[in-house]
Structure 1
Amino acid sequence: MPVIVTIEIPGGTQEQYEETTRLLVAAEWFPPAGFIAHAAGPDESGGWRVVDFWESEDDFRAFMEKGRSIFEREGSRTVVPTVTEAVNVMVRPEPK
């Protein structure tokens, strides 16, 4: 069942996010199994928010484990994601 994963990163910055994303995308295993979509941006408290869509919570957890060394290297704080069931996930189709 698809899930929505929301991660709040208090004090997170755009620079930290962009460097972490660069390293993740460069990993030989990227894109990870079960990945559907990703969005991120600043939140109202001055930190950073990430919203992902995954095929399952297990897929998301496997990604977090694979990316652990990157997250730790970039100084990402331990965060507790919120995982909720997605009733529907729509993505814009690629142009033909």
Structure 2
Amino acid sequence: MSDVITGAVSVLNEKLDGGFSAGTAKFVIEGEGAVMIDGDGARAADEDADVTMTADLETFQSMMDGDIDPTAAFMQGKLSIDGDMGMAMQLGSALA
């Protein structure tokens, strides 16, 4: 597992504080790997999910640092979403 994915799991678990109860989501960080998010929290894995969000490393880090809102990243074409858009919006709100 890459250091980037390990760090992403740690940051997401802090932000979600106990998990994400709306379903399963996956963050794909291009060139690094994937992080699954569900009711148990975040973990390094690449499984089927209700929604998959894909971004490059710079965009992902900017979202985690609060420098860019996930909705803004999507609107700017920096974040792609495949699947349940409503769930992606709930997750974006949880990460803000």
| More helix by percentage | 2
Q: TM-score, normalised by structure 2?
A: 0.33
Give the number of the structure with larger relative contact order, counting CA–CA contacts within 8 Å between residues 6 or more apart.
1
User: Which entry has the higher C-alpha Rg, 1 or 2?
Assistant: 1
